[in-house]
């Protein structure tokens, strides 16, 4: 590990040298790559420098202890020594985590798709609540949310909704939300007061940018334009602005109608189609690497039930990591930081354990 850290320290210094050259901005692509590499290496280099400094402090404290006879000074040195040893242990663990292989999609924006499952109108109502939960969470992270398509029902529910979240590291956190979410509560439409169980599915897909090659042949796709439908609002049912794409090889159909412009809706529809095709490709890769999928918390089986929201008890349980929180109101208002942080920690622990087994 320390040989690798020394190599990364040398590479970091090389990058800093290149970035300080006056001509560095002449090649914008090269400049962007260097800035990205510098950004990725900075937390590792900072932690390693602090580790080395703490190790030096330990050596200095030991030498001074050998020579020091004053008891007060010895006590102070022993305290400093203990603090440095503790910090070295913490930094060793931190460095192990920082050196874990990084998911290449972690820095990407995401496209999220929520679909109502079992439970009829109640599932659609819950889908709308989970959509709002993610919007509030994104706002707290200072990310931007843009709705791509929504199929609403009259009572405020959503049969399905697709939206994009734009922001630094969006996929690295949102990927843990993929799977089946289950709600247990008494529906407003239920006169007998019986608790119903409904489900929705959430798919989180990285945005496909220029570095990923997803080819869509003209012959493989049909583009239909039509008038937007919905619960009113400007341009609904007045212009042919809505766009539907049908991809023959995969059978995927996507629809976008949230923009006034047909061109903008077409761009959104193609972004959604590319994300879905890339997602299928990723799922196939994970299925081929069954062991890898088992060890990962965030990118497993889409049919896996990952979380239950129990309204009568005010309880949220994440089944993958055995976490239960009694703050359902806060969670539904976007406070899912504790859940996501716990998923990240469990994912890292599983990967560290796998590396040590190897």
195: nearest Cα among 262, 300, 119, 265? 119
Pair 40, 114 in one domain: no
Does residue 174 carry a pLDDT above 80? yes
**Residues 243, 256: contact at Cβ < 8 Å?**
yes
Residues 60, 144 within the same domain: no
Q: Left (φ > 0), alpha (ψ -120 to 50) or beta: where does 288 sit?
A: alpha
CA–CA–CA angle 295, 135, 251 (5° rounding):
65
The model scores a pTM over 0.85 = no
Whether residue 182 has pLDDT greater than 60: yes
Q: Tell me: do 157 and 294 sit in the same domain.
A: yes
Q: What is the pLDDT of residues 17-27, one digit of tens each?
A: 888 888 888 88
Of residues 183, 53, 171, 135, the one with CA closest to residue 334: 135
In a domain? residue 355: no
Neighbours of 24 (CB within 10 A): 15
Q: For residues 91 and 109, what is the distance between their CA atoms, to the nearest angstrom?
A: 30
Residue in 220, 207, 287, 272 with CA at minimum distance from that of residue 251: 220
Alpha-carbon dihedral angle through residues 54, 57, 62, 65, given to the nearest 10 degrees: -140
Q: Where do we find the tokens 């489900």?
A: 199
Tell whether 128 and 166 lie within a shared domain.
yes
Same domain, 162 and 183: yes
Q: What domain range is 29 assigned to?
A: 2-98
User: 357 lies in a domain?
Assistant: no
CA distances from 269 to 203, 221, 254 (A): 16, 12, 6
Quick check: is 356 in a domain? no
User: Does residue 358 carry a pLDDT above 70?
Assistant: no
- 179 strand-pairing partners: 202
317 DSSP β-pair partners: 308, 324
Residue 358 included in any domain: no
Q: Is the dihedral of CA 59, 65, 68, 72 positive or negative?
A: positive
264-298: pLDDT as tens digits:
888 888 888 888 888 887 777 666 655 544 544 55
Domain stops at, among 58, 75, 98: 98
Q: Would 29 be classed as within a structural domain? A: yes
Total structural domains within the chain: 2
- For residues 81 and 118, state if they share a domain: no
Q: Which residue, of 98, 132, 167, is where some domain finishes?
A: 98
> Which residue is it, tokens 């709600």?
183
Tell me: do 92 and 117 sit in the same domain.
Answer: no
CA contacts within 13 A on the Cβ side of 357: 7
CATH number at residue 295: 3.30.70.1660
Mean pLDDT of 177-187: 91
In a domain, 103, yes or no: no
**What's residue 297's pLDDT?**
53
Q: Say yes or no: 71 and 158 in one domain.
A: no
Looking at residues 51-60, what average pLDDT do you find? Answer: 89
Q: Are strands 305-310 and 179-185 parallel, antiparallel or unpaired?
A: parallel
Last residue of a domain, one of 98, 127, 154: 98
Higher-pLDDT residue of 297 and 47 is 47
Residues 183 and 303 in one domain: yes
Average pLDDT over residues 179-185: 92
Per-residue burial over 97-125, b if 16 or more Cβ lie within 10 Å, else e, is: ebbeeebebebbbbbbbbbbbebebbbbb
Q: How much of the chain exceeds pLDDT 90, in percent? A: 28
DSSP symbols for 261-279? SHHHHHHHHHHHHHHHHHH
Percent of the chain whose pLDDT exceeds 70: 88
The edge-to-edge listing of strands for the beta sheet with 252-256 is: 221-226, 242-247, 252-256
- Angstrom distance (rounded) from CA 197 to CA 181: 11
Q: Identify whether the C-beta of residue 165 lies closer than 8 Å to the C-beta of residue 109.
A: yes
Task: Report the interhelical angle of 28-67 vs 71-98 (nearest 10°).
Answer: 150
Query: Is 343 a domain residue?
Result: yes
Judging by beta carbons within 10 Å of its beta carbon (0-12, 13-18, 19+), is residue 312 exposed, middle or buried?
A: exposed
Query: Do 83 and 190 belong to one domain?
Result: no
Kindly state whether residues 28 and 82 are assigned to the same domain.
yes
CB-count exposure of residue 192 (10 Å: 0-12, 13-18, 19+): exposed
Q: Is residue 222 located within the same domain as residue 129? A: yes
Indicate whether 357 pLDDT > 70: no
Q: How confident is the model at residue 231 (pLDDT cuts 50, 70, 90)?
A: very low
């Amino acid at each position: 590990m320390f040989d690798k850290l020394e190599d990364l320290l040398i590479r970091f210094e090389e990058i800093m040298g290149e970035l300080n050259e006056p001509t560095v901005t002449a090649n914008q692509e090269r400049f962007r790559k260097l800035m990205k590499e510098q950004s990725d290496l900075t937390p590792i280099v900072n932690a390693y420098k602090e580790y080395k400094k703490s190790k030096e402090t330990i050596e200095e404290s030991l030498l001074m202890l050998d020579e020091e006879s004053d008891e007060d000074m010895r006590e102070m040195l022993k305290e400093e020594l203990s603090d440095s040893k503790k910090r070295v242990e913490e930094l060793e663990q931190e460095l192990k985590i920082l050196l874990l292989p990084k998911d290449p999609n972690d820095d990407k924006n995401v496209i999220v798709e929520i679909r109502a499952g079992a439970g009829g109108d109640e599932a659609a109502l819950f889908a709308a609540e989970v959509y709002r939960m993610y919007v509030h969470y994104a706002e707290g992270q200072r990310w931007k949310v843009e709705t791509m398509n929504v199929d609403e029902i009259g009572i405020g529910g959503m049969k399905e909704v697709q939206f994009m979240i734009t922001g630094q590291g969006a996929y690295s956190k949102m990927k843990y939300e993929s799977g089946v979410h289950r709600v247990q509560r008494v529906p407003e439409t239920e006169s007998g007061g019986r608790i119903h169980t409904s489900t929705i599915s959430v798919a989180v897909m990285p945005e496909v940018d220029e570095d990923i090659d997803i080819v869509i042949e003209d012959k493989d796709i049909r583009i239909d334009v039509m008038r937007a439908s919905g619960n009113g609002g400007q341009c609904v049912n007045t212009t042919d602005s809505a766009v539907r794409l049908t991809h023959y090889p995969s059978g995927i159909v996507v629809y976008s109608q949230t923009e006034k412009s047909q061109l903008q809706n077409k761009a959104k529809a193609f972004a959604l189609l590319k994300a879905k095709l890339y997602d299928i490709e990723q799922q196939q890769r994970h299925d081929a690497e069954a062991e890898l999928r088992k060890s990962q918390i965030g990118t497993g089986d889409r049919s896996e039930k990952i979380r239950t929201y129990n309204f009568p008890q005010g309880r949220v349980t994440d089944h993958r990591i055995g976490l239960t929180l009694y703050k359902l109101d806060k969670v539904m208002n976007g406070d899912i930081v504790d859940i996501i942080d716990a998923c990240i920690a469990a994912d890292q622990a599983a990967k560290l354990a796998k590396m040590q087994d190897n």
